[in-house]
Amino acid sequence: MANVVIIGTQWGDEGKGKIVDLYSQDAHVIARFQGGNNAGHTLVVKGVQTILHIIPSGILHDGKICIVGNGVVVDPRILLQEIDQLKERELLPPKTKLYVSEDAHLIMPYHCRIDSAREAKKGAGKIGTTGRGIGPAYEDKAGRCGIRMVDLLDLETFRERLFRNVEEKNFLLTQFFKEDPVDGEAIFKEYSEFAVRLKPYIANTSLIIDEELKKGRRILFEGAQGSHLDIDHGTYPFVTSSSTVAGSACCGSGFGPTQIHSVVGIIKAYTTRVGGGPFVTELTDEIGDRIQKVGHEYGATTGRRRRCGWLDMVMIRQSVRLSGISGFALTKLDVLSGIDKIRICTGYKYKDEIIKDAVPSDLKILAQCEPVYEELDGWTEDITTTRELASLPANTRKYLDRISQLSGVEIYLVSVGSGREETIVLKNPLRGV
């Protein structure tokens, strides 16, 4: 038995979808434990792209149990659209089961409306949310007025809680944001229809996970976003509204921490960011543009252009500390091919101080930090067909070695292309080899 947590080590967009898809081949259960449809996990199988926003990335494999955990906030419209699209494309395997936690909170139409209205009101000071209602849904969860999946199974309870919330949300929309109100009756009708379709999927997923653990099954826990978007440990307030570090897998899925055997951190060969906030290694020159174009760096959910920069080891070391990362899965290494000189940020210079192990919590300080770079020779070879570490160019191997040295963490896997097969596997934590 081996249970593995997969998390992002940067600001998300590290390529978790591909890695979860790969590891799912050796897992029996794949459980998504936080976030919402603000995350987009992209899978490329036999040249065909599939983007998932809520359903775990292991869904393409037959004979699996895929779980949307209690820590996820679910927009039922999006979830049903994903299910329908997978069925239409014949990508939902017949023996794979999908369950949604009865304790998962629902994203409601008023959450999306408030999310967008709040961003518009902030103007230049906006955070850069996706407008999907994620933050307001988590606010209601913390405020103990959220509506959960289980409430859809009792429409009387659902209606009572819905209209209590609609009264408050409409006051906020009309009086503070000067927006039109939402129609409670229309929402009730729409979500009542969702309830009929979702009923077969709603379950006590914590019990399902426990039953599989007792059978000695291998479980893969899939996170969304990245460590530096964590609500507690990220570059607040330019963060998401959930906890993205490995410890969240326990809370967001309903199992104990003693059952985790390994934590795999997904690390992109460079750094990207969507939305606002300080970005110490950001490149605004032709190299940054090249990385953006070659890497096709656009948000899978929003389509927004990602900001690009050199790999930041201060961020990575903090992620290692926060999640107890056992090994890295390094992605998009092929994007750096053809760059003459490659830089790695080994520290931040702030006034007369060198910062190496922690990203400053004070964003005013972080914005004034300058990167301390180490420069390495690049490579020109096409590495997308390489399947053995020893076959990589010498300079590529030096780059990988330096990442391990600076982080103190070994590399389990190297992705050299977007396809499932374009991968060098060094160690499989699910199999212990």
Q: How far from 294 is each of 210, 271, 286, 333, 366, CA to CA, in Å? A: 43, 14, 12, 11, 28
Query: What single string gives the DSSP state of each residue in 243-264?
Result: --STTHHHHHHT--GGG--EEE
Task: List, in order, residues 6 or more apart from 90 with CB less than 8 Å away.
Answer: none
Q: Measured between alpha carbons, how far apart are the two ends of the chain, in Å?
A: 12
Angle at alpha carbon of residue 343, lines to 337 and 346, rounded to 5° = 140
Task: List, in order, residues 6 or more apart from 422 with CB less than 8 Å away.
Answer: 334, 384, 385, 415, 416
- For residue 43, what is the enclosing H or E element? strand 41-45
Shortest CA distance to 290 belongs to which of 341, 254, 348, 234?
341
Q: Which residues are catalytic?
A: 13, 41
3-state secondary structure of 425: strand
Task: List, in order, residues 6 or more apart from 110 with CB less than 8 Å away.
Answer: 136, 165, 166, 169, 170, 173, 182, 187
CA dihedral 82, 88, 91, 97 (to 10 degrees): 60
Task: List, in order, residues 6 or more apart from 351 with CB less than 8 Å away.
Answer: 368
Shortest CA distance to 135 belongs to which of 229, 234, 36, 69?
36
CA–CA gap between residue 340 and residue 79 (Å, rounded): 44
Confirm if 289 and 36 have CB atoms less than 8 A apart.
no
Note the residue count of the chain. 433
Shortest CA distance to 424 belongs to which of 413, 412, 433?
413
